[in-house]
Amino acid sequence: MNLIDRETSKHDDAARAGWMYYVGGMTQDQIATALGVSRQRAQRLVSRAMAEGLIHVRLEHKIGACLGAEAALKRRYGLNEVRVAPSLGPGGDSARATASVAAELLETYLARAEPQVIAFGTGRSLSAMVAELSPVPTDRHKVVSLIGNIAPDGSASFYDVILRIADKLHVQHYPMPVPVLSETAEEREMFHALGPIQSVVRLARNADVMFVGVGQMGDDAPLYKDGFVTRDQLAGIQARGAAGEIVGCVFNADGAYIDTPLTARLGGVRIEPGRATPVIAVAAGASKVAAIRAALKGRLINGLVTDEATAAALLLG
């Protein structure tokens, strides 16, 4: 190993330890165990990360393994945008791991001089991303929702990304004021026949860039955990081969959408495969690997923000 390689490795170790400490909230004992080093070395690595400016709120040093994974994912899946965040170790919160990296990517679009229409899905990963955004107001861009914001009990959806962004950036915003899941397909069509809803849908479909989450369809499916579908309804779409969902639209292992009486009631804007404009998924975690892989296979997304462990699993499959 030459001098440059040794220095890069030292920076990698320090950046990883700093990430675990400041982002993951891990103790130095936990970091030592995760990295296979002594507690004293873990302490020195964390101190070095701060002393050399590798950690602020954002990770300033790109870990070599993350850069390699980004390049490999681009080649493997023909992606345009890829960001791989360092993993936070066993039991770490994957949404927290990707949050600042996703926010940094979103900020590159917000920094553009030309007006942008940016469409968003919903979920924990996107909410965590918004929490990491720098609060720089902008009035030249528009943000629009790709999915309804009304929960089954009539309350606002808990992970409504659009309102959180609007509050932080004071940007023009267009929520989708329809139920995530209507009572009937006819009711869903009635909502979407309304003029204001049609305007929001057109804006969303013609967005310059989309940021979406990817939901798994196992027994821990967000659609089920958040109360939008029952256990029996989940079992029904699982039996049809459901592998994942994006803005409530369910697809199989090949990334092809599944049409059932239940999915006909979902109020999201379906993202058509092979869009030329960026469709960037922010998703990580072992439970989401199959869903992300299916979305990639079906070309429902052309960009990805994930973490190291998820990237490695996607490259193995």
Q: Over the chain, what is the mean pLDDT?
A: 89
Q: Left, alpha or beta for 70 (phi > 0: left; psi -120 to 50: alpha)?
A: alpha
pLDDT in the model for residue 59: 56
For residue 75, count other CB atoms closer than 10 A to its CB.
11
Interatomic CA distance for residues 43 and 249, integer angstroms: 46
Q: What is the pLDDT of residue 2?
A: 44
- CA 23 to mean position of chain CA atoms: 17
Going by their DSSP bridges, the two strands 117-120 and 249-252 should be labelled as: unpaired
The set of residues, in sequence order, having a beta carbon less than 8 Å from that of 36 and lying 6+ positions away, is: none
Beta strands in the chain (DSSP E): 81-85, 117-120, 142-145, 172-174, 209-212, 215-216, 242-246, 249-252, 279-282, 303-307
Amino acid at 12: D
Q: The pTM is what?
A: 0.81
d(CA 125, CA 85): 13
Residue 109 CB burial class (10 angstroms; 0-12, 13-18, ≥19): middle
Give the tens place of pLDDT for each residue, 62-72. Answer: 677 888 999 99
Rounded distance between C-alpha atoms, residue 270 and residue 225, angstroms? 21
Q: Please, what are the domains in the chain?
A: 1-61 (1.10.10.10), 63-316 (3.40.50.1360)
If you average pLDDT over residues 4-29, what whole number do you get? 77
Whether 212 shows a pLDDT value over 90: the answer reads yes
User: Tens of pLDDT along 137-174?
Assistant: 888 999 999 998 887 777 766 677 898 999 889 999 99
